[in-house]
């Protein structure tokens, strides 16, 4: 089994696509106006309009209502990303902080309120954990 993607359901696909294109630095593929994919070597971030929710079953998803999932991206330099993204991120949850498990992280919310973590392994143990991935 391979982890393929995470999909965010939103009422404004264009707004989220533009935001994540700036955060991730890749252009989205738009196979349909109600759907986009930002593909990275490790995974794909998909963004679908709430109009598509009916395809998954009534009431199965609700746009801009996530408070349990964190979308995480490993980066080379958390401090540099924090500075780069300051002009486009409206809600910072936590400034760069070293976590107990050895990652330096910065947390913010995307325009729909989803929590995003950019992290960098900084301790010897954390670096070792990610060296084989």
> Percent of the chain scored above 90 by pLDDT?
84
The end-to-end CA distance of the chain, in Å, is: 16
The boundaries of every CATH 3.30.720.120 domain in the chain are: 1-58
pLDDT value of position 56 = 85
Q: Look up the CATH superfamily of 70-133.
A: 2,3-Dihydroxybiphenyl 1,2-Dioxygenase, domain 1 (3.10.180.10)
Between the alpha carbon of residue 52 and those of residues 46, 48, 60, 132, the distances in Å are 12, 7, 11, 37
The two three-digit tokens of residue 62, written as one number: 């609700």
CATH ID of 1-58, from 3.40.1010.10, 1.10.3720.10, 3.40.50.800, 3.30.720.120: 3.30.720.120
CA distance 42 to 52: 25
pLDDT of 68-121, one tens digit each? 999 999 999 999 999 999 999 999 999 999 999 999 999 999 999 999 999 999
Whether 132 shows a pLDDT value over 90: the answer reads no
What pLDDT digit, counting tens, does each position of 28-56 carry?
A: 999 999 999 999 999 999 999 999 888 88
The segment(s) of the chain belonging to CATH 3.10.180.10 are 70-133
């Amino acid at each position: 089994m391979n982890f393929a993607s995470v999909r965010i359901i939103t009422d404004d696909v264009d707004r989220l696509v533009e935001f994540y294109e700036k955060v991730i630095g890749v252009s989205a593929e738009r196979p349909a106006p109600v759907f986009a994919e930002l593909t990275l070597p490790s995974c794909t971030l998909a963004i679908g309009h709430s109009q598509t929710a009916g395809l998954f079953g009534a009431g199965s998803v609700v746009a801009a209502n996530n408070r349990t999932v964190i979308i995480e991206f490993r980066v080379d330099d958390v401090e540099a990303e924090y500075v780069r993204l300051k002009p486009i991120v409206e809600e910072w949850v936590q400034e760069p902080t070293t976590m107990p498990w050895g990652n330096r992280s910065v947390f913010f919310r995307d325009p729909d309120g989803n929590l995003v973590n950019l992290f960098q392994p900084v301790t010897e143990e954390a670096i070792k954990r990610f060296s084989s991935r």
